[in-house]
A and B are shown apart, each in its own frame.
Chain A
């Protein structure tokens, strides 16, 4: 058989330093935001028993999980998402008030269903807010998502909010076969008016319910308008509650100053078995990418023996990396100090001083001069016996100074690379 030692498997990749440093940078920004709202970071195993995911109404298709058989013949899976392990942690550790958790982890999915180039390993960041049912907690989670994107320099975003309660109120009150229910759900999710009309004609649902189901396809757009339209379509308490809940969440988000990003879509009903309340997706408009997906899932922890209401989201770091534009310069080495036998001590001490001030500093013995010329740094500093010769690589300037002057110049520039 042909050797595959030079080939990387499909769906995974190496990240060379500039790319990986950018990724670390984005992860740090996002983590800082999570932390600033009090979401404490946790870690869970990379693989778990298949049984953990088997009986769940989960987001990942069971066929999409990578499975391994362990030494006892048990089936393990590489974690396909973080929410279920976190729900377990929450059920074990929840006292009686609230629990706010966050993570940044790699997750693994076979991703065979979709189209085009698909990653099989991706980095997901997210938060989960346990113990609260009020609209304020939903709004906070959404606000953290929006702020994370803004902090990464992404402003061209749309936040689409829906509510599965509205459609559950419509569908669950009618007895439908599972197959028909799934077809109706799918045609609403794909805004396929034609197909939905045909399906509804064939099934036994009161005509006022049919009318509202058809209207859902067009219930999207500006929050105020959607609410106004939806209020006229309310047929039962569950639908009324969900519209009130959406309205409240929107009111709270206004206090965060984020109303300009918000739009509603009551046809946003993917993973309806899993979610129980408000759901949302965040897109980067110009790149047509979905970067955040989340919502309320109050029943999940019941699988671990406790009822703890919860809401949260997952943010796809890899998608964000496609969108962020970053100045490569900020990842460059700041100084390369070139020394000779006489100045070795000075150079090593100076380097240490600069590093203490968060600069990236490399030192080179002068014999490597020719190599130094091709190195990437902001400045190359030749340390001679009683003076420094500084070569600025960005504008080509060369100047001579003494050590004190140089340190003053370095510190006053106040350009600290963001890697630290």
Chain B
């Protein structure tokens, strides 16, 4: 039997997913404190690969991984060609537009938007027929309005603490985000039994809300 390859976003998502898999009886003994990027469970024929969140859709779409766990934010930004088979219910947060307290839109003036998610931001403002200039940043987006780099930011927010500490307030909410299970379109059919078993398990765990 072939291995089922799962791509996980390094960090919180991977830790959570591995904890859930452990309860399923799949143990990656050397996971803790290891700097390895590939782990296998020989008995269940499951292999996990740890990649950067942005790369999970790349691995899954190309078939380098059969399934993957990644935030909806990354899926929206990448516009990947995969099946999105389940909302795993963890990693909940939302996409918002935020600005410095007291900020007002000026009519007729282009809004400068700093974000790690240029595609999401552009589509959102386009759909509202608002004309914007996108500034792509790779982190610490909250800084942009403070130093005058942008008028607003588009970012994901979990509790809002970071925004608050930097004097920013939420202007608009774009959509909710959570971790999703995605599948390669061909693997989904050719390894349907294995994927279905795992999906059913994740669904049970989610519905018992033991992983939320």
Contacts and interface: CB of A to CB of B under 8 A. Distances in A.
Interface of A: 113-116, 158, 160, 190-195, 220-221, 263, 265, 283, 285, 287-290
Given A115-B57, A191-B84, A194-B86, A285 B190 contact: yes
Given A190-B83, A190-B84, A192-B84, A116 B190 contact: no
A195 B178 CA distance: 12
Contact of A116 (B62, B79, B86, B183): B62
B188 interface: yes
Given A113-B79, A114-B81, A115-B78, A191 B188 contact: yes
A290 B85 contact: no
B184 interface: yes
Nearest to A268: B185
B82 interface: yes
A195 B186 contact: no
Contact of B187 (A263, A288, A290): A288
A158 B189 contact: yes
Given A116-B62, A190-B84, A288 B184 contact: yes
Contacts of A192: 83-85
Contact of B84 (A195, A285, A287, A288): A195
B133 interface: no
Contacts of A191: 83-85, 183, 188
Interface string B6-41: 000000000000000000000000000000000000
Contacts of A288: 62-63, 184, 186-187, 190
Contacts of A116: 58, 61-62
B80 A290 contact: no
Given A115-B62, A116-B58, 17 more contacts: A113-B79, A114-B61, A114-B81, A115-B58, A191-B83, A192-B85, A193-B85, A194-B86, A195-B84, A220-B189, A283-B186, A283-B190, A285-B186, A288-B186, A289-B63, A289-B186, A290-B186
Contacts, number: 52
Contacts of B184: 288
Highest count of chain A CB atoms <10 Å: which of B61, B186, B187: B186
Nearest to A270: B81
11 contacts: A115-B61, A115-B62, A116-B62, A158-B186, A192-B83, A193-B85, A263-B189, A288-B184, A288-B186, A288-B190, A290-B186
Which interface class (under 10, 10 to 19, 20 to 34, 35 or more) fits B? 20 to 34
Interface string B168-203: 000000000000000111111110100000000000
Contact of B80 (A115, A158, A265): A115
A270 to B, nearest CB: 9
Contacts of B192: 221
Contacts of B86: 193-194
Interface of B: 57-58, 61-63, 78-87, 183-190, 192
B187 to A, nearest CB: 6
Interface of A is mostly: mixed
Contacts of A290: 185-186
A263 B188 CA distance: 13
Contacts of A289: 63, 186
Please give me the 8 A-B residue pairs with the lowest Cβ-Cβ distance, nearest first. A288-B63, A191-B83, A192-B84, A194-B87, A288-B186, A285-B190, A115-B58, A190-B84
Nearest to A113: B79
A115 B78 CA distance: 8
A160 B186 CA distance: 10
Contacts of B87: 194
Most buried by B among A191, A285, A289: A191
Contacts of B187: 288
Contacts of B80: 115
Contact of B190 (A115, A158, A190, A195): A158
Contacts of B185: 290
B126 to A, nearest CB: 12
A190 B82 contact: yes
A191 B185 CA distance: 10
B4 to A, nearest CB: 13
Nearest to A117: B62
A116 B78 CA distance: 11
A160 B61 CA distance: 18
A113 B183 CA distance: 19
A116 B189 CA distance: 23
Contacts of A287: 63
A204 B57 CA distance: 33
Contacts of B189: 158, 160, 220, 263, 265, 283
Nearest to B79: A113
A13 to B, nearest CB: 18
A158 B185 CA distance: 12
B64 to A, nearest CB: 9
Nearest to A285: B190
Nearest to B2: A286
A265 B189 CA distance: 10
Nearest to A115: B58
Which interface residue of A194, A221, A283, A290 has the most chain B CB atoms within 10 A? A194
A290 B190 CA distance: 13
Count chain A CB atoms within 10 A of each CB in B62, B188, B192 and give the residue with the most: B62
